[in-house]
Each structure stands twice: as structure tokens, then as C-alpha cells.
Structure 1
Amino acid sequence: MPNALVASAKVLETIDERLLRCGISRRAFLIFCSSLMIAAPYGLAITEKKTPEEVAAGLGKVVRPPVIWLHFQDCTGCTESLLQTSHPDFGDLILNIISLEYHETLMAGSGLQARQALDEAVKKYAGKYILVVEGSIPTKDQGIYMKMAGRPALNVLADIGGKAAAIVAIGSCASWGGIPSADPDPTGAVGVADLLPNKSIVNIPGCPPNPYTLLGVLLQYASNGTLPEADELRRPKFAFDRDIHEHCTRRAHFDAGNFVKQYGDEGHREGWCLYEMGCKGPETHAGCSTRHFNEIPDVWPIGIGAPCIGCTEKSVAFRIPMFQVVQLHTIAAPPTSFAPITTTHGSMSPLATGLVGLGVGALAGAGYVASRKFSKEQGYDGPPGSTPSNSEPGDDA
């Protein structure tokens, strides 16, 4: 258990204490843990090689982490994605698994009440809470493009982010600017790590990202006080260690050279590869192809017939035009068609023909001599291939 959360144990409940106080049965919690093991990100340390009972025993002792959720330049799509989870559903998540202290979209209060709730949460859990940031932060003309409770967005992030134990930047906008940072970028939009480079930050890019990646990060931190192993872009490796193309359900069509040429054509209807439509799957690291949204098969961009735009890659999404084909760096280009069944045969020279004929003649002569010898040993001297008079057709020689 992280030291910061141990210090706050007097004011925060463990998950077990919360469930007991709310009258939620142990059986219901075991069902939740079973679902978690299926739906939570692969490689999540708290579920790896454990039974549901072992997971429940470990999670039950975890102090529910206090979470403050801030919105900056965003469309609220990341929150909307989180609202659609079912293992656990959002009610379980915010009421029993984490302690959501502030979230502008979900809280009942507004205006002065909302500001007071935020100030109280920051003061109460300073150095203990996890800050989740949704949306990019404008850096140009401070205060013109965005203010929160009368303060420029930059100041709000510096204040609240500076007091957080860890920060999760959810979505491409919070990770590195996203849509607001696309040219001409009038607001100077940047991600959280650009402004707080020395903080413990996990980037979960996506437009929107898979909500279970956030769940995995929060539970791992609450469980043992650590953040997942990350790549050079601060993305958790358990969710971003594979590229979409390698695990794409349409990969066989890529290898066969079957490509969609335009939306609605025969190939599109048949589920062919979308590479020539600008699919960025070969350059995009994410788990979309193996972990679909809302637990519904094929609910992800390529699954519904749209090319991947590379939303989890800083140098791809909102930088490369949507229908521009990306280069294949580590993957061999697909063939234009299947290999032909028949091949063109060369001609034999007269000398080779003569030698082959000589060889065939020698084999035939040897066969004739052998057959004559065999017939004489059996007491028959008739022409080869005829039946001896003392045997019936079909008898063994």
C-alpha cells in the first residue's frame, strides 16, 4: 500500500470497508473480480496468475484512491467512453472502487459549490490524490482561451497538478495536444507532460482511449503505489506494446493484396484491408484490435469499416492527413495478387532430349531383361505380360 494512502487511511475507506458499509455482498464482489480479470488490461499485476478469490482478497485491502478529474480543452469524449464500461460499470467504479472527489461533468454542484468542492478536495488529500486530466492546455494569450473559476488554465494545472501524487493524462488531447494542437494551433495547445515534466505522469492517448486502461492504472497505483512500466511516450506498455496492424482482423486481406478502394465498394462490403484508404494501423501502437470498446465484438474503428487514424501516436494523429497512406517500416509490402498457380516452362536442348531418351531406353531394356529372367525362374517362357497356362488371371505370380 502506498505511503501516501496509508497516511490517509483515517479518512479513506478500503474497498472491503466500503462494500460492507454499502451492503454489497462478497459474492457480488467476486463476480466483479472475475469480470475485472477478463476486461482489465492484459498484464495488470494485481490480476496476473491469480484466482478471483485471490484478486478479491488483495483488492479488498486497497484504500480507495481519491481522484480529482479536471477538464481543459476537450470534447468530454473520454468521460463518455468511461460511462459505457460494464465490467465494472461506472457506478461501481466511482462509488466503490475509487473515490471520485471532483468531476465537472458528473457532479451535481456547479459554480461556487463546484469550486468549493475542488478546493476542499485538494486541501484534504494534498500529496495523496490522483489527478486525471482530460483535454489539452492552452498556452497562448493566458486567460483568453480558457479560464477556470477566473484563473487561467495554466495556473490551475500548475496548482492542482503540483499537489497530486500522480497524474494520468487521459486521451490524446491531454497526452500531447490532440485535436486542438492541429495546425494552425491558435491556442498553443500542449499536453500535461509538456508543462509538468518532472511529475509522475502516465499518458493514455486515444480519441477516446479504452476506459479499461485507466482502470488498470488506477488499481495498480492503489494496490501497490506504483505506476505501470511505460514506453518513451509515457504510455503504459501493457496497453500500448503492440501495433494494431499485427493483430488486425483484416490482416489476411493485407497479405493477400485485397484493398478497399473507396467506401461502399465490393471490397469494403467484404471487409477487405483499409490500408489504401489511409489506415494508420501499421504505425499505431494500441490494443484496439484485441480489446474492443464496450465489450461488443468489432466495436472499434476498423471493425466498423473506418481506417485507423493513429490517435495514440503523437506524430501521426492530427498531423498526417486522414487518407494519406503511411510508409511500411517494419512490415513487408503486401503482394499485388496471389502467386500464380502455373509457371512458364523453359525448352530442352536437343542434346538434353537425346540424353533423356537414351536413359529411358536403357531403363526399358533393363526392365525387359529382368522380366524375362523372372519368367524363366517361374517356369514360363511366354511373352512378357501374358498369363502362364497353369495359373488363373488375378493369381499371384
Structure 2
Amino acid sequence: MTENDVLVRINKRLLELSKIPRINQEGSIAKRLKEKGFSRRDFMKWAGAMSAFMALPSSFAPSIAKAAELSDRLPVIWLHMAECTGCSESLLRSDTPTIDSLIFDYISLEYHETLMAAAGHQAERNLHDAIKKYKNRYILMVEGAIPTGATEHYLTIGAEGHTGKQIAQNACENAAAIFSIGTCSSFGGIQAAHPNPSNSKALSVITSKQVINVPGCPPSEKNIVGTLLHFILFGTLPALDVYNRPKWAYGLRIHDLCERRGHFDAGEFVQSFGDEGAKQGFCLYKVGCKGPYTFNNCSRERFNSHTSWPIQAGHGCIGCSEPDFWDTMGPFEEPMADRLYNTPFGIGSDAVSDKIGVGILALTAVGIAAHAAIAAMKKGDNDE
């Protein structure tokens, strides 16, 4: 399929969406952006950047802008399960809103426990009515892991006393698309860490429906909005890796685009926090950075309006977008090579996230540790 064929398909999809009555009757995205000091030029620059971010040609920028303007045609239901609300906080950014967060603010958010004014029976009625009214149309976003089994009642919500599992399964049944937002919903997160007293599970475990995982603790706002825009543009799920993560966001390792990668290759490592190497921005591998085993785009997109990210701030990646990271990536301030034979987690440090084997991690960790050791030795010889 050529680029032109894809654009024709997208424009047909957007035309169909434009015929659907607007759910949000209060202004438009253009008006919202203007009120917040963003010009049309700013909006189109954002659309161009988003097209690159989503690995689409620059010619797709006008279509992305149009998709954002039509984003209120698809209602969104956002559920909170066992979580800290950090994923919502990552997106909302109420102190310094970005275009991404303003677009999310503009969409028709039919249910979000943190944001809505309703409570008790009224809140439950709102959820029930939204699921019924927008059957097979709404996008479901779920934040947080889900207690199951004998401890399913650990998460009991609302005046009618439904469990989180019951609510999530009911909402999944008639959703047009389902997104697990954050590592807790995608893989269980810290709630599912050993010994997992609540028997918390990922959303995909409790439903037979296809789930797109957008992991991270928290994920960046662009990963959340980009996944939503992809569905608006194409009406289909994006290309996914073996863990059902969008490849355009999770196709490369943190290590691949890390600003400290040159120091890793040169054998220049921080030996302890605060040492001379730390002051010079050396590689954080020896103080526990899990960037070689973690698939995400943090090193490219960063956080807080692209201001910084953990590695730039001086702490290694903890692998938070990977399955079972709390159990498999720790101790967070020690190299993975220190625990080579206690790592059943099957992530390798190969170039793309869909080429993963169960036994790769230990072998890769050995290779990375050996590379680090050899590079450090060569560096020492050169210094002499």
C-alpha cells in the first residue's frame, strides 16, 4: 500500500467521523487552544511533530490535525482500578497544559472518577448510561491492575459494591477499542509484585478482547494521546510487539537513543552516585540502569514538556515499561548482571521489541556486562 493509498484511507475515515454529531458542544479544539495561548501555527507544528513521533510521513500532519479536531466524536470511558492515578496526572498536567493534554481535555470524557463531579449512585449511573448509549463506539482506557480470585473484593467500587474486575469486564464487552494505560493495567505493575497478596492481574488477563498496552510508570502523555490518535486516524489497532505495545512508541530500547550511550561504548561509567563520572554525565549502567533491557521512547520524548527524564537527571532507568519490572529489574541501583541466573524475564536487548526469546536476557546481560568490562579496561589502559 502506497503513502497515497494510506492517506485516502485516512481521509475516508475522517470524513465518516465528521458526519457523526459532536458530543462536545462547548466550543472546539481551535477555541480551546487559542484560549490557552496556542496559535494555529503551534497546532500544525504539533501535528507535524506527532506525525514523526508516530513514525508517519510529514504529509500526514494535516490529517493528524483533523483527527485531533474530530476527537470529540469518539466518547472515552476511563476506569481507575488498583493504581496511584499517576497515569492520569501524566496526561492532565494541569499546571502547564500542553497541546496533548488540552486535546485530551477536549475529548468527550464520559467517565473518569478523578475528574467528574458525580459520586455514589449518580457516578455509577453515568458509567452505566455511557456504556449503553455508546455501545460499540466508545474507547475504553483502564488505569491500574485488577485484583482477582479469592481477593477480587479487595477492589470494591461504588454504591452498589461491584468489584473492579466486574466493572472492567462489563466495560470491555462493548468497547470499540481498549487501552491499558500504564504498567499496572498493562502488566500488573507494583500491585502484582511478589507476593501479590491481592492477586492483581493485567487487564488483558480478565478479558478476551484485544487490549493495547501503553505501559510506563507513568507513560508519557504523547504515548497516550498518540495511541488514541492512531485509532481515530485508522479505526484499527496499530502494529504491536509481542507484549501488545505500539511499535512506534516501544520499538526501540532506552539504550538505543540514550544521550549517555557514547560513554557506555567508551567504557566511561558512573561507579557511585555523586562521583566524578556522575558529574561528567557518564553512563549509569554500573549503578543499575536498565536501559539496555527496556523498550520505550523516554530517551527521545522525555517528560515535563520534554524538559528532562530520569537518566538526564542522574538516575538509571528502572525498566518500568516492562512486564514484572518490580520483581525482575531490581535491585534498581545494581546492574542486571549481578543477578544473571535469577532472571526468568524474557526481554533481550536486541534492536527491536518484537524479537524476544525466553532465554535471551541472561545471555544479553552477560554480553552487556562483558562489553562494559572490556570497554572500561580499554579506557583504563588508554588513561595510563
- TM-score normalised by length of structure 1: 0.75
SS of alignment partner, residue 304 of structure 2: helix
User: In structure 2, do the counterparts of structure 1 residues 153 and 14 end up closer, same or farther at CA, with 3 Å as the change threshold?
Assistant: same
Q: Tell me the residue number matched to 1:147.
A: 156
Q: Is the 8 A contact 1:167 1:201 kept in 2?
A: yes
Deviation at 1:181, TM superposition (A): 0.7
Q: State how far apart, in whole Å, the 2-side matches of 1:19 and 1:206 are.
A: 27
1:1-397 alignment runs, 5 A limit? 9-10=20-21, 12=23, 18-19=28-29, 28-38=39-49, 42-45=53-56, 48-50=57-59, 53=62, 55-57=64-66, 59-60=68-69, 64-84=73-93, 86-95=97-106, 98-149=107-158, 150-196=161-207, 198-297=208-307, 299-321=308-330, 322-327=332-337, 329=364, 331=368, 333-334=371-372, 335-338=375-378, 340=381
User: In structure 2, do the counterparts of structure 1 residues 69 and 60 end up closer, same or farther at CA, with 3 Å as the change threshold?
Assistant: closer
User: In structure 2, do the counterparts of structure 1 residues 261 and 89 end up closer, same or farther at CA, with 3 Å as the change threshold?
Assistant: same
User: In structure 2, do the counterparts of structure 1 residues 40 and 182 end up closer, same or farther at CA, with 3 Å as the change threshold?
Assistant: farther
Letter of the 2:77 partner, please give it: I
Q: State how far apart, in whole Å, the 1-side matches of 2:322 and 2:311 are.
A: 17
Q: State how far apart, in whole Å, the 2-side matches of 1:294 and 1:342 are.
A: 38
Q: Is the 8 A contact 2:148 2:199 kept in 1?
A: yes
- Between the two proteins, what is the percent identity of the paired residues? 37
User: In structure 2, do the counterparts of structure 1 residues 300 and 2 end up closer, same or farther at CA, with 3 Å as the change threshold?
Assistant: same
Q: State how far apart, in whole Å, the 1-side matches of 2:319 and 2:291 are.
A: 7
SS of alignment partner, residue 50 of structure 1: helix
SS of alignment partner, residue 252 of structure 2: coil
Deviation at 1:326, TM superposition (A): 1.8
Q: State how far apart, in whole Å, the 2-side matches of 1:63 and 1:79 are.
A: 18
Letter of the 1:255 partner, please give it: D
Q: Report which of the two structures shows the higher radius of gyration computed on alpha carbons.
A: 1
Report which of the two has the higher share of helix.
2
Q: Tell me the residue number matched to 2:345.
A: none
Q: State how far apart, in whole Å, the 2-side matches of 1:341 and 1:73 are.
A: 52
Where structure 2 has 5 or more consecutive residues not aligned to the other structure, the ranges are: 1-11, 338-362
Q: State how far apart, in whole Å, the 1-side matches of 2:30 and 2:254 are.
A: 42
Instruction: Report Cα offsets for 1:233-277 as digits up to 9, x if no partner.
Output: 000000011111121111122122222222222222222111111
SS of alignment partner, residue 371 of structure 2: coil
Over 3 Å off, 4+ runs: 5-8, 10-15, 17-25, 27-30, 51-63, 315-318, 337-343
Q: Is the 8 A contact 2:145 2:188 kept in 1?
A: yes
SS of alignment partner, residue 126 of structure 2: helix
Q: State how far apart, in whole Å, the 2-side matches of 1:57 and 1:160 are.
A: 28
Q: Is the 8 A contact 1:35 1:87 kept in 2?
A: no
SS of alignment partner, residue 37 of structure 1: helix
Letter of the 1:157 partner, please give it: A
Q: State how far apart, in whole Å, the 2-side matches of 1:265 and 1:33 are.
A: 44
User: In structure 2, do the counterparts of structure 1 residues 53 and 269 end up closer, same or farther at CA, with 3 Å as the change threshold?
Assistant: same
Deviation at 1:104, TM superposition (A): 0.6
Q: Tell me the residue number matched to 2:355.
A: none
Q: State how far apart, in whole Å, the 2-side matches of 1:182 and 1:23 are.
A: 41
Number of equivalenced pairs: 334
Where structure 1 has 5 or more consecutive residues not aligned to the other structure, the ranges are: 344-397
Deviation at 1:222, TM superposition (A): 1.4
